[in-house]
Structure 1
Amino acid sequence: APCGHSENEKLPSLHSCSVCGKDFPYASKLQRHLRTHSGERPFPCSMCEKRFPEKGLLMIHERVHTGEKPFPCTFCEKRFASQGELRLHRRTHTGERPYHCSICLKSFSRHWHLKTHLEAMHCEVVAGFSRKKFPCSDCEKSCNSAAELRDHQRTHTGERPFQCSFCDKRFALSGTLVRHERLHTGITPYHCSDCGKTFCAVCGKQFTQKGQLKGHLKVHTGEKPFSCPDCGKSFAHSGAMNRHRLTHTGERPYHCSVCDRSFNQSGRLREHEKIHFGEKFDCPECDKSFTRQTHVRPPPAARRAAPR
């Protein structure tokens, strides 16, 4: 026969879901799938009140209580409770994005990220997708996907299942945890191989040196290790503390080379010296000149054309 099977050969039977029609090669897989419809969770955790639809999921969960993390990352020192978590984590090192949108060519590191993208952005053109809404049972909000709804519901329950491996902080979203842990490691995936600049993973600000990025991260962590010995005020950087101490001593070490004025910060001296040496900006309506372009009023026609 053209298909490779004899007429008397029996093809493997498929087990179909009576709820959604999905086919499975084994009855055991169908049985597990049916629990997604019924909500049945026959496997209880012996250490807390959570229940699970599959024994394997229960085993992974119980490692939360035992602290067991048998799967190490070969790129860094982190360890994980499941192979799935390790596989997803490795993509932060490799940059792998195996799930591709066939419409706009965007790539994603996780399958459900692609699914959410298709539902939210291309539901009208993708066969089998409709703009299904997932309503929250606790408020009036509707979400575009089951994953989005799950994340949203944590704002009601207060659940924070993602714990930082460096400190005691916990987070409701895995993405928030990833960004937070970069504050500890100083490692950022946002590195341009062309210009060599690195980018802050929290706010996107760019730096030419890793040390600058490390110092900048204190803005987000709130770390202020430098204390003023005069008043006890704390600062993130030693330079900021030294500038502050000048307010106690009254010292003005930066002197203008043209006039007698002195300043407690080099930046204020540079701003002042523009009066003597800097570029002048002429006003188009009068004969005055200014050291800052922002002090020059635009002509009336430009002011009328400016958006309000």
Structure 2
Amino acid sequence: MMTHTGEKPFQCDLCGVFFPRKASLKRHMVTHTGEKPFQCDLCDAAFSGMTALKHHVMAHTGEKPFKCDLCNAAYSGKTALKYHMMTHTGEKPFKCDLCGAVFPQRGSLKQHMMTHTGEQPFKCHLCNAAFSRKDKVKRHMMTHTGEKSFHCDLCDATFLEKSHLKQHMVTHTGEKPFKCNMCDAAFSQKCNFKCHMMTHTGEKPFQCNLCDAAFSRKSHLKLHMMTHTGEKPFQCDLCDAAFLGKTALRYHVMAHSGENPFKCELCDAPFRAKSDLKGHMMTHTGEKPFKCDLCDAAFSRISVLKYHVMTHTGEQPFKCDLCEAAFRAKGSLKQHMVTHTGEKPFQCDLCDATFSLKIYLKQHVVTHTGEKPFKCDLCNAAFLGNSALKYHVMSHTGEKPFKCDLCNEAFRSKGSLKRHMLTHTGEKPFKCDLCDAAFSRISVLKYHVMTHSGEKPFKCDLCDEAFRSKGGLKQHMMTHKGEKPFKCNLCDAAFSGKSALKYHVMTHTGEKPFKCDLCDEAFRTRGILKRHLMTHTRKKPFKCDL
């Protein structure tokens, strides 16, 4: 009758909880005393109640007497079957009064309430970690003991949790039961399938309280929060590097060991990560599953698609704290920061040269070996890098994809367009510390500084001539060889340098682009204009020593 009346006459003297039966109170008292009188004959496990022991013994025998009528699922306990049935009916009778979330079990609701209260009653006695659930502290203790009680029968892998072992077994069977109905993707785990679906819906339920960032996974939010705190708990034992996540550290350690466990079956290319190998395979198949909604572009990786979309939106989320520069990629910001610090941590083993980026060092080392692996199919030219080859091929095709919005000029590279835009704005951000000169390009500034220092690092092996630029030396070498590859289309004249040809063509066209602001005179070169201006100022800088 007490189940109808709700009467609970038996009270615990230690915590005040009421029970309808004396036996229930007796079982409850064991939670205070810690007593576990019921011991398993097959292992060292002990329990406070006979029912719990019975369920445990079934884990040894594999017995699951409680079967679901709607599917093949079977359970060792009646309660477990009851909760399973709710997955079929969708029943969730326990509702949270604070947020409306519903749960199939009272225990699940109780655990959920702790997310509101922040309560973490289960504490680790070896460190300061605290948890909202008893099973979580139990799992945490294994990180101290190193215990991994769940073993794979097919390999040597061991796991802290049974669910992790279950997930691992799929790697042996290759089973991927969770299929996406919007694309061909399939997954071995429901959680990965769920996260994948968010790439279609755009849903990002986990939001950062400190900024506007949102994520599809709770683990991604957790990692993001460390970018605010600056915390990097995973440290490399071989160098000073530290990382937000364990996976990033493992990936980094391979850079020290040189380990590349994932190899391509079609070529011998090795990779550190499985995802890198997967992306590489698409270079063989030509597959590009990630398509842009704003243009016809398609990509083999979703990260490259995201980067591409920013070219449409103009979004540059990575901002420099020291200047107004902003970038689409975190790597680009990292490269930019070196311009402020001047740091060049990558040193060449063959000479004293140092570089701000590893890729620059890699390109430099090839100058010692003379290796140029990227060859042009249309001529004999060879290059250190793929991007240089691509740029060169455009000289054959005449392709100039980057167009100026203010004039009809077109360029082969985005950098060339960017530099050209400065001719319209008149902006010269690179200033000389030794005089008032300013330049639109840092390379021109470096070249200019040599006029003060007198430095000419590029020396000719055949004579005593020295030059400020590599291009100047290259052009000079043609005077020794008698080589004149730049030919005029309007006459038989030929030149060793491209700029000389350019000035010569002006003798045919009559073009004089450099105009004097003080009179109507115009000139073919900037140098001639500069000398002409001295006739106005009466300046005579060249004095006779005799």
- TM-score normalised per structure 2: 0.34
1:53 aligns with 2:69: no
TM superposition shift of 1:50: 1.6
Number of residues of Structure 1 aligned to a counterpart in Structure 2: 247
**Which ranges in structure 2 are unaligned for 5 or more consecutive residues?**
1-12, 14-25, 28-35, 229-288, 300-304, 315-399, 423-428, 431-438, 448-454, 459-467, 470-546
Q: Counterpart in 2 of 1:7?
A: none
User: 2:205 matched to 1:187?
Assistant: yes
Q: Map 1:161-200 to 2 at 5 A.
A: 176=192, 179=195, 184=201, 185-189=203-207, 191-193=208-210, 196-198=211-213, 200=215
Structure 1 residue 51: Cα displacement: 0.7
Distance 2:412 2:116 in 1: 45
Identity of aligned residues (%): 27
The structure-2 alpha-carbon separation of the partners of 1:192 and 1:28, relative to structure 1 and needing over 3 Å to count, comes to closer
What does 1:1-308 correspond to in 2, within 5 Å?
15-19=37-41, 20=44, 22-24=46-48, 26-72=49-95, 79-85=102-108, 99-108=122-131, 110-120=133-143, 122-123=144-145, 131-156=147-172, 176=192, 179=195, 184=201, 185-189=203-207, 191-193=208-210, 196-198=211-213, 200=215, 226-228=293-295, 240=311, 252-255=403-406, 261-262=409-410, 269-270=417-418, 273=422, 276-279=439-442, 282=446, 286=457
| Structure-2 change in CA distance of 1:137 and 1:33 (3 Å) | same
Matched letter for residue 90 of structure 2:
G
CA contact (8 A) 2:291 2:297 kept: no
Is 1:162–1:171's contact at 8 Å kept on the other side of the alignment?
yes
Structure 1 residue 17, shift from structure 2 partner: 1.8
What CA distance in whole angstroms lies between the structure 2 residues aligned with 1:85 and 1:157?
32
Aligned 8 A contact 2:403 2:410 in 1: yes
One-letter code of the match for 1:48?
C
Letter of the 1:22 counterpart? A
Query: Aligned partners of 2:413, 2:224: CA distance in 1, in Å?
Result: 24
Deviation at 1:227, TM superposition (A): 4.4
1:198 deviates by 2.5
* Separation (CA, whole Å) in 1 of partners of 2:177 and 2:106: 18
**Structure 2 vs 1, CA of residues 72 and 270 (structure 1 numbering), >3 Å: closer, same or farther?**
farther
CA distance in 2, matches of 1:87, 1:170: 34
CA distance in 1, matches of 2:456, 2:166: 60
1:137-167 deviation digits (Å, cap 9, x = unpaired): 2333233444432332343466779999xx9
Deviation at 1:66, TM superposition (A): 3.1
* Higher relative contact order (Cα pairs below 8 Å, separated by 6+ residues): 1
SS of residue matched to 1:226: coil
Partner of 1:61: helix, strand, or coil? helix
Name the aligned partner's letter for residue 205 of structure 2. I
**Are residues 71 and 188 of structure 1, via their aligned partners in 2, closer, same or farther at CA, if it must alter by over 3 Å?**
same
In the TM superposition, what is the alpha-carbon distance from 1:136 to its structure 2 partner? 0.8
Deviations 1:203-259 (A, max 9, x none): 656999xxxxxxxxxxxxx8857243xx5869768764589xxxxx96824459xxx
The CA deviation string for residues 64-100 of structure 1, in whole angstroms up to 9 with x for no partner, is 3333344456676765444455556666777665544
Structure with the higher fraction of residues in helix conformation = 2
Q: 1:43 & 1:28 partners in 2: Cα distance?
A: 15
Aligned-residue CA RMSD in angstroms? 5.4
How far off is 1:55 after superposition?
A: 1.2
Greater Cα shift, 67-76 or 135-144:
67-76
Partners in 2 of 1:87 and 1:32 — Cα distance? 23
| Counterpart code for 1:150 | K
Cα distance in 1 between the residues matched to 2:204 and 2:62: 42
Counterpart code for 1:152: H
- 1:46, distance to aligned residue in structure 2 (A): 0.7
Native 8 Å contact 2:148 2:158 kept in 1: no
SS in 2 for 1:68: coil
144 and 33 in structure 1: CA distance in 2 versus 1, 3 angstrom threshold: closer
